[in-house]
Amino acid sequence: MTATDAVITQKAPAKINLTLHVTGQRADGYHLLDSLVMFTELSDVIEVRDADDLTLAIVGPYGAGLPTGENNLVLRAARLMTKGRGAHITLTKNLPVASGIGGGSADAAATLFALQNLWSEPLPDWSDIVALGADVPVCLSHELTRMTGIGDTLDLITPMPPLPMLLVNPNVGVSTPAVFAALTSKTNAAMPDTMPEPFDTADWITWLRDQRNDLEAPAILSAPVIATVLSSLNSQNGCQIARMSGSGATCFAIFETDLARDAAAQSLRVKHPDWWVAPTSALS
């Protein structure tokens, strides 16, 4: 294929684990999960264009210090598509790093889509995508999804209602391997097989409160400030549910109204100016 002057831009939305039940561990060390995943309007951004070589530049508020070497997940994803061709990739890193909202995985998925659009090429084999990381496959769709197995079994449920949400990260990175290592029980109950329709918001929120993030307790041991974030969110007027996402340290809250969410964001920014506080809504 001949080179083009086209520039393709692809958003990489923040991934939120509304639930995260750890249901087992395989002999090879991979954990088995049962997680309800959604995406928000907040995102990193991937931009790609043809080039002689494969290169990566990282900019944005959280881009400083991120490595651009061969093991970068964006470059690993790109190598599945390039087949010897070159591309210049720019990642605008708007989301905190190592924060439990799938930033690297979403960036990798966005890279696949951007290069697919640039070159009109099919996506790589599913097994190659899974090998990039447990969260990459779910980031290929932005609908509400139930993710099971090691992240390779996906059941699309529905587009999300545009619920008002607030994401808060105390600007503390948490090591995912360390959090899993500190998990005391690795054979926990899965989610129920059925759940209310998400657009029946009251019933669905009630159901959601009965679920868990099994990584919350070990993450708090690693970073006790996560408990402070959760307490702060739960104390805000209009907060319907607050929970940690992924392995932390980002926590989310769903609010009754946009007004209540925005008031909570303002309050937390005043009390905790060193925290990342980001009002958003579910990507519908």
Predicted confidence (pLDDT) per residue in 87-135, tens digit: 999 999 999 988 999 889 999 999 999 999 999 999 999 999 999 998 9
Low-confidence winner among 42-56, 65-79, 201-215, 235-249 (lowest mean pLDDT): 65-79
Q: Whole-prediction pTM value? A: 0.94
Percent with pLDDT over 90 in the chain:
87
- HEC secondary structure over the chain: CCCCCCEEEEEEEEEEEEEEEEEEECCCCCEEEEEEEEEEEEEEEEEEEEECCEEEEEECCCCCCCCCCCCCHHHHHHHHHHCCCEEEEEEECCCCCCCCCCHHHHHHHHHHHHHHHHHCCCCCCHHHHHHHCCCCHHHHCCCEEEEEECCCEEEEEECCCCCEEEEEECCCCCCHHHHHHCCCCCCCCCCCCCCCCCCCHHHHHHHHHCCCECCHHHHHHHCCHHHHHHHHHHCCCCEEEEEECCCCCCEEEEECCHHHHHHHHHHHHHHCCCCEEEEEEECC
Q: What is the mean pLDDT of residues 224-252?
A: 97
Domains of the chain by start residue, with CATH: 7-153 (3.30.230.10), 159-281 (3.30.70.890)
pLDDT of residue 3: 59
Give the active site residue among 34, 50, 107, 135: 135
pLDDT of residue 1: 44
Average pLDDT score, the chain: 94
Catalytic annotation present for 274: no
Give the active site residue among 11, 15, 50, 107: 15
Catalytic annotation present for 93: no
pLDDT at 148 over 60: yes
